[in-house]
């Protein structure tokens, strides 16, 4: 936590370890690709004020390239995801597609008319920061309010649920499986606990998950209207571990 260079040092150790495990010669590496959460500065090859790290500037490409003596390329993780879908996944042969991740955070990558969208710094498709609530009730990790990620990401769904529970009849809350699983203490609520209760048929949890789904639908509609994709592929832990609960509320 105290050393921002520790991140690049860990990647260097990982690259060498993978070479040793596979029997490959690290001297034969042609290059390294890094898919990272943002915000990024591609020209400087660095993370800029990431929300989950206590640093304003985290160098990546320069220290790794300098140590391993090979080219290092940096992309936003979701931008790399849409490249993967285009080259090896469901997006093969398509010139207009979007990859969305619904996980700890919410992000996206887009290819439009065959061109990968990057933006001036590599942060062109930060769709998690689309505003979906004009009342701006909940605060996003970026510091602003009303963003998609503030309501529907794995990290922030509990905040949304706690807000909504204030509007629900107390008797209904107390009779729910969710209440029993939490022993009445919703300060410990996680997205996993909510989805598990919904899978067990808890009416309150199902209603809350459907409300999250409605907000996701607003986010998806914004993505469609912005990028006009032929295909949207979805990844991320929240979506992949709860496919029906997450995707069913979103109209096809």
- Sorted by where each starts, the structural domains of the chain and their CATH numbers stand as 6-70 (no CATH), 77-252 (3.30.420.40)
Amino acid 2: pLDDT: 60
**pLDDT confidence band for 246 (50 / 70 / 90):** very high
188-245 confidence digits (pLDDT tens): 999 999 999 999 999 999 999 999 999 999 999 999 999 999 999 999 999 999 999 9
Model pTM score: 0.89
- Closest of 129, 196, 194 to residue 161, by C-alpha: 194
- Closest of 102, 37, 106 to residue 241, by C-alpha: 102
Amino acid 155: pLDDT: 94
Mean pLDDT value across residues 107-132: 95
Lowest mean pLDDT segment, chosen from 18-27, 82-91, 97-106, 153-162: 18-27
53-77 confidence digits (pLDDT tens): 788 888 999 999 988 888 999 999 9
The whole-angstrom separation of Cα 6 and Cα 26 is: 20
Q: Mean pLDDT of all residues in the chain?
A: 92
26-51 confidence digits (pLDDT tens): 777 788 899 998 899 999 999 998 87
């Amino acid at each position: 936590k105290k050393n921002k260079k520790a991140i690049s040092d860990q990647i260097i150790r990982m690259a060498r370890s993978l070479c040793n495990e596979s029997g490959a010669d690290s001297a034969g590496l042609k290059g390294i690709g890094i898919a990272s959460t943002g915000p990024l500065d591609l020209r400087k090859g660095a993370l800029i004020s990431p929300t989950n790290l206590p640093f304003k500037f985290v160098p990546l490409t320069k220290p790794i390239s300098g140590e391993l003596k090979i080219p290092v390329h940096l992309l936003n993780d979701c931008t790399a995801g849409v490249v993967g879908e285009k080259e090896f996944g469901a997006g093969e042969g398509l010139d207009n597609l979007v990859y969305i991740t619904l996980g700890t955070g919410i992000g996206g990558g887009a290819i439009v008319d065959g061109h990968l969208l990057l933006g001036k710094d590599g942060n062109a498709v930060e769709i998690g920061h689309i505003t979906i609530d004009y009342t701006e009730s909940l605060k996003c990790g970026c510091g602003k309010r009303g963003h998609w990620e503030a309501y529907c990401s794995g990290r922030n769904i509990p905040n949304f649920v706690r807000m909504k529970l204030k509007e629900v009849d107390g008797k209904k809350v107390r009779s729910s499986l969710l209440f029993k699983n939490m022993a009445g203490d919703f300060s410990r609520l996680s997205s996993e606990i909510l989805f598990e209760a919904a899978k067990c048929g808890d009416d309150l949890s199902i209603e809350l998950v459907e409300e999250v789904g409605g907000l996701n639908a607003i986010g998806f509609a914004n993505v469609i209207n912005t990028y006009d994709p032929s295909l949207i592929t979805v990844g991320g832990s929240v979506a992949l571990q709860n496919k029906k609960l997450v995707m069913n509320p979103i109209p096809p």
